[in-house]
Amino acid sequence: MQADFVIIGSGSAGSVLASRLSENGKHSVILIEYGGSDAGPFIQMPGALSYPMRMRLYDWGFQSEPEPHLNNRRLATPRGKVIGGSSSINGMVYVRGHAMDFDHWEDSGAKGWSYADILPYFKRMEHWSPNGHGGDPTWRGTSGPLHVTRGPRSNPLFEAFVKAGQQAGFETTDDYNGEKQEGFGPMEHTIHKGVRWSTANAYLKPALKRQNLSLIRAYAEKIEFDGKRATGVRIRRNGRSEVITARRSVVVAASAINSPKLLMLSGIGPAAHLAANGINVVADRKGVGQNLQDHLEVYIQQACTQPITLFKHWNTFGKAIAGAQWLFFKKGLGASNQFESAAFVRSAAGVPYPDIQFHFLPMAIRYDGTAAAEGHGFQAHVGPMRSASRGQISLNSADPFEAPRIKFNYMSDPQDWIDFRHCIRLTRTVFGQAAFDPFRGAEIQPGASVQSDEEIDAFIKEEAESAYHPCGTCKMGAVDDPTAVVGPDCKVIGTEGLYVADSSIFPRITNGNLNAPSIMVGEKAADHILGKTPLPKDHAKPWIHPNWQESDR
């Protein structure tokens, strides 16, 4: 029950860390994961993505506190409680983020995390092949463990969405993860040969063949300290409390929800909050649990006049056929997440890089698989990327088995309302283009009667949902920044032998889905923890619209 490195959490970053820290065979590594096996078809079949995030077997089942600006609704906050963590229950969408996101990280104090610094790590992790469908191989990695692919885009609605964006005056892009993020084009996903390519499949399972890596199924209660040095992790297993000793370092990779919770339970956090819960202070870091960010989105749904959408398969027989095709051949509808076209656009002149994301889906349905529209339809998930609203994670008590208090504080910044109204009206503009003329029926949601700012705001309050991208709660920054939790080396400031490496360290949320940058954090953090020289910088320059100061398109 001891190792050189002890990692808490086998998710998007944790599995990467387990693989990279054990890679050279010189160090012993123990990975702690409370969740169970990822072997079931609900996880491995991409088309079943709506199921695992609703199953307590695979999900921690977190909910936000009542959100005051969203009619006091409690929003679901799914996090993976399974091998592979949230990479085993997410939508499998692969988005690196924009280059300027990471330059902002460095400018805010995370030195060494500019785009030039992190691009080599994206390349190291990727296994990407153009396969004749566009993109620039010079911007992509081709031999990493993480397979990045694209769907067949055989439904004509996928092409209609991209053409409509172009007709509305926006750019198109062959590869939003390459030089040019801005525009309408194909969406990428972490699917390989028809199977969800989680970090468990890409990194952890191959690494577990090594003698120096062990996976322990247990509940992490707290980090043990000798003074300021982290010495191990107290776990609960089979009803008993035990300590796993870390000879060199403890690495927390337990998610933007559970990582700050673990730090606070262990005495690292705002001193007054810890004292109020009867916890002795190891390091007074007021930023722990603060800076919580997420992407909020709405679904704009349109009826389809042709019977070509996924609705025709949304019945017991259709699901059975898709399931059988996947089970026996790993092909068919079950082999895709159905998010096969996307867009990143700018909201206004003077915005230098995209701040709105679209996911397009050839069906009118909620992300969690509920509330399917009665009949054929299509939809766009749309929302702003860089809200100024901030929330926090706090403890309900010192009981490690009690869920933390989660308050996102969505829509608390006045600009959010302006941005969301624009997103909704912009989506209507895209759906109103000639490319959709053969398919467009009546607007299902919000509905044609919802037009004024007040009516749109009421729709947002009742219907906006999380995109499930929480981050920022253990912010990375300069060591003299009182709000930073970890320094640029991912070490927890004010401690020794303790690191955090997951989406909780993001200083600011990135453009798009967070799985890819979370994996990148695991890759880069592993080099810092091992004391290795970072990969050489890659100074490739991203495409920025030449008229960004004059126009939004």
Q: What single-letter amino acid sits at 279?
A: I
Residue with tokens 């796993």: 244
Whether 127 sits among the annotated catalytic residues: the reply is no
What is the spatial distance between Cα 526 and Cα 503, in angstroms, rounded to a whole number? 15
Please list the alpha-helical segments (H only) found in 22-132: 41-44, 99-107, 115-125
The count of C-alpha atoms lying within 13 angstroms of the C-alpha of 520, restricted to the half-sphere facing its C-beta, is: 26
Active-site position among 189, 469, 528, 545: 469
- Cβ atoms < 10 Å from Cβ of 481: 17
At 472, list the tokens.
């920022």
**Residue 288, annotated as binding a ligand:** no
**Packing angle between helix 115-125 and helix 515-530, nearest 10 degrees?**
100
What is the spatial distance between Cα 424 and Cα 458, in angstroms, rounded to a whole number? 13
What is the spatial distance between Cα 146 and Cα 192, in angstroms, rounded to a whole number? 9
At 468, list the tokens.
């499930």
* Residue among 153, 148, 125 nearest 135 (CA): 148
Q: What's the Cα-to-Cα distance from 366 to each of 118, 285, 383, 446, rounded to whole Å?
A: 34, 39, 15, 13
At 316, list the tokens.
């017991």
Q: Which helix (H) or strand (E) holds 327?
A: helix 316-329
CB 393 within 8 A of CB 62: no
Q: What's the Cα-to-Cα distance from 164 to each of 80, 168, 301, 361, 430, rounded to whole Å?
A: 36, 6, 15, 14, 6
**Residue 93, annotated as binding a ligand:** yes
Long-range Cβ contacts of 312-318 (<8 Å, 24+ apart): 312/376, 314/363, 314/365, 314/372
* Residue among 231, 238, 301, 287 nearest 259 (CA): 287
**Residue 151, annotated as binding a ligand:** no
The count of C-alpha atoms lying within 13 angstroms of the C-alpha of 258, restricted to the half-sphere facing its C-beta, is: 32
At 154, list the tokens.
């055989």
Those residues with Cβ within 8 angstroms of residue 395's Cβ, 6 or more apart along the chain or in another chain: 261, 264, 265, 273, 277, 279, 402, 404, 405
Those residues with Cβ within 8 angstroms of residue 274's Cβ, 6 or more apart along the chain or in another chain: 264, 267, 280, 281
Those residues with Cβ within 8 angstroms of residue 488's Cβ, 6 or more apart along the chain or in another chain: 109, 110, 111, 112, 113, 476, 477, 478
Active site residues: 469
Residue ranges of the annotated binding site for FAD are: 82, 90-93
Residue ranges of the annotated binding site are: 82, 90-93
